[in-house]
Structure 1
Amino acid sequence: MPHHREPTLADVAERAGVSLTTVSRVLNNRGYLSQATRSCVAEAIKELGYRPNQVARALHGKSTHSIGIIVPTVALPFFGELSSEIEDALAEHGYRTLICNSLDRRDREHDYLDLLVSHRVDGIISGAHNEDLSEYRSIHKPLVAVDRDLSPIVPNVRCANEDSARQATEHLLARGARRPALLTSRTGAHNRREAGYRAVLEEAGIEPVIIAIDFHTPDERRAQMIREGLDALRDQVDAVFATDDLSAADALEWAHARGLDVPGEFKVVGFDGTAALRRALPGLTTVQQPIRAIARTAVDLLLEQITALRDDDERPRPAHQVIELPGTLLQGRTT
């Protein structure tokens, strides 16, 4: 047999000396077949290196045992760790994963959605940043969102962002900060970490200071913009609450470059608390997201939808629900 193409079901049947129907029955464990026939087909599959076509199986109403995961990029510590935890949880249930990095681009996310649907994945978990993408309303597959409201009909699992941000801001004030700034990627009503920060400052009678640097900004330019923003506010703020740890690291670097004592003259709190950043900056005060719990809750919700769909094709998708899991303030040497 030529080696330049994948072996087919017909190749297996020819090698085993049986019909296509018999090979199909062996693969799907359907009907009575002698152990000798089963062994013969199994041996042919092994010799040829045959892999069942999962998409073809799906077209016949069978599960592909695959799940799509869409994130902005696994290069970011939070999404890298989240993807790993989701993949691990799904593997325990016999599912494989296809991880797609949207790079926060709507066109790329759209293309990945088309790809996952065409490959007949059993469900999709999305943590992409492109909110209210209309395609999510038209996908008739089990769906769960992580950390973002993708659509009113998609369940969302996330950290209790507003409460956690309140903890972080209250901690800065308790440690002596008089006017902390918020360093974030996007400002607006959807930013629940910003909402927590603003609520605490309003209660304390302090005017908020927001430095917003878009998520799309390249790393080198982002660090430069953080330095410029903090330079402009040097005489106005004495602390930063950053809504991610990488930005907190840039704020710390700025403080050290300007000769500021941390935490005496300048204080910093981050957000995420991933294993990678905890190793790189063990002294950073940060809010640790419950990443493992978020991942496993999202997987549980998705598997519930898959099971419901398998048992009753007419069952509607569950109503929108938001599950918030508490973050943990980890105190370090930066406050």
Structure 2
Amino acid sequence: MITIKEVAKRANVSSATVSRMLNDSGYVSEEARERILKVIEETGYVPSENAKSLRTKKTKVIGVILPKLGSETTSRMVNGLDRVLAAEGYQLLLANTNLSAEKEIEFLKLLKSRDVEGIILSATNTSEQLVEEIQKLKIPFVVVGQDMPDTPSVVFNEIMATQDMIEYLIEKGHEKVAFIGVSESDRAVGLLRKKGYLAAMEKHGLPIEEHWIQTAFFDVESGYQAMKNMIEESAQRPTAVFAVTDRLAIGAMNYIKEAGLRIPEDMALTGVGASELSQYVTPSLTTVDFQYNKAGQEAANLILSLINQKNIPTSKIVLDYGLVKKDSV
């Protein structure tokens, strides 16, 4: 296997001259450049990426910590990341936490030890321990989906989007609106979306029965069970349900149908995520469209700005949203 020293010897230049040309890091005469290129072409020499990264202190790798690889929203965000970063010659090193807060911290430490140039975290919590670990990183870092103190972030307008969806249900004549959420340890999905729901109901002076608020996990089965609990335990049935994810809404839809109720005639149903599946269930699901692909692109641009030490006008980017109005309302 040919080395940089062999290339230099054949081109009758120093190894430092070959290195400067390959890394575009200093002056190399045109005559020497032509000789080096000729030797490279003849020998098929390929610079070692490991050696190059040691010289330039750049690995061209971005660590990405994800909550769940099987999620469509995660996939859309990663596509956005890759679209921007691949164009700049970066590779992604993906880590899957499977919704574990402990693994988020574990992977932060692991990726830092791998000398990645930056880390992007799609966070599921905002615990003090996580914030402390982030502050220890000393490398470019961006969080997606959660608003953390003094941390560059790309977030969604969770409260306003939820309020707008509840307002839409109220406009359609629904006064008994229920809520299927997740643990408030996930501040964005669990806490902020619940705040939006409560704020909209309070604004219109609408009552909320205790069992109309259910806490679930992030899967379809959990949405089914939450809906079952709500119907069986409530003194009066709601006429509409807001679920904080499309998966939960689809689980709820399955139980509503099993209970012999019609959607939307007997009960309206909405979700969040604008997933592909939401448009293929029957009836098609009314949902909130957060721009997950764009979130990935914005996070990628932000991490590149931090790596290149460019002036960043804002460290928090709040993305817009839209209501996808389909047949379930």
TM norm. shorter chain > 0.5: yes
When normalised by structure 1's length, the TM-score is 0.82
Instruction: Give the equivalent residue in structure 2 for 1:214.
Output: 217
Partner secondary structure for residue 262 of structure 2? coil
Instruction: Give the equivalent residue in structure 1 for 2:260.
Output: 259
Counterpart AA for 1:213 = A
Counterpart AA for 1:117 = K
The one-character-per-residue Cα deviations of 1:185-240 (angstroms, maximum 9, x if unpaired) are 1237932111110001112222333111134xxx4752553243233246332211
Counterpart AA for 1:80 = S
Most deviating of 79-88 and 23-32: 23-32
Query: Structure 1 residues 42 and 98 mapped into 2: Cα distance closer, same or farther (>3 Å)?
Result: farther
Instruction: Give the equivalent residue in structure 1 for 2:175.
Output: 178
What are the equivalent positions in structure 2 for 1:131-210 lying under 5 Å apart?
131-132=126-127, 133=130, 134-149=132-147, 151-187=148-184, 190=187, 191-208=191-208, 209-210=212-213
**Structure 1 residue 141: Cα displacement:** 1.3
The one-character-per-residue Cα deviations of 1:285-319 (angstroms, maximum 9, x if unpaired) are 0010022332222222222212217xxxxx9xx79
Identity of matched residues, %: 25
**Structure 1 residue 276: Cα displacement:** 4.9
1:247 aligned to 2:248? yes
The one-character-per-residue Cα deviations of 1:259-289 (angstroms, maximum 9, x if unpaired) are 1111011010110113454355682100100
Most deviating of 22-31 and 282-291: 22-31
Are the aligned partners of 1:187 and 1:212 in contact in 2 as well (CA < 8 Å)?
Answer: no
When normalised by structure 2's length, the TM-score is 0.83
- Name stretches of at least 5 consecutive residues in structure 2 with no aligned partner: none
What are the equivalent positions in structure 2 for 1:34-73 lying under 5 Å apart?
34-41=33-40, 43-46=42-45, 51-53=48-50, 56-73=51-68
Are the aligned partners of 1:147 and 1:157 in contact in 2 as well (CA < 8 Å)?
Answer: yes
The one-character-per-residue Cα deviations of 1:33-63 (angstroms, maximum 9, x if unpaired) are 34232332355455xx66411xx54444432
Partner secondary structure for residue 49 of structure 2? coil
Most deviating of 154-163 and 91-100: 91-100
RMSD: 2.8
Are the aligned partners of 2:224 and 2:251 in contact in 1 as well (CA < 8 Å)?
Answer: no
Query: Structure 1 residues 69 and 247 mapped into 2: Cα distance closer, same or farther (>3 Å)?
Result: same
Partner secondary structure for residue 124 of structure 1? strand
Query: Structure 1 residues 298 and 281 mapped into 2: Cα distance closer, same or farther (>3 Å)?
Result: farther
Are the aligned partners of 1:77 and 1:276 in contact in 2 as well (CA < 8 Å)?
Answer: no
Query: Within 1, Cα distance between the matches of 2:119 and 2:283?
Result: 34
Instruction: Give the equivalent residue in structure 2 for 1:323.
Output: 317
Pick aligned residue for 2:101 from 86, 97, 106: 106
Are the aligned partners of 1:185 and 1:212 in contact in 2 as well (CA < 8 Å)?
Answer: yes
Instruction: Give the equivalent residue in structure 1 for 2:113.
Output: 118
Instruction: Give the equivalent residue in structure 2 for 1:312.
Output: none
Query: Structure 1 residues 266 and 146 mapped into 2: Cα distance closer, same or farther (>3 Å)?
Result: same
Are the aligned partners of 2:169 and 2:240 in contact in 1 as well (CA < 8 Å)?
Answer: yes
Most deviating of 122-131 and 324-333: 122-131
Pairs aligned (count): 311
Query: Structure 1 residues 319 and 35 mapped into 2: Cα distance closer, same or farther (>3 Å)?
Result: closer
Query: Structure 1 residues 84 and 43 mapped into 2: Cα distance closer, same or farther (>3 Å)?
Result: farther
Are the aligned partners of 2:223 and 2:250 in contact in 1 as well (CA < 8 Å)?
Answer: no
What are the equivalent positions in structure 2 for 1:268-279 lying under 5 Å apart?
268-279=269-280
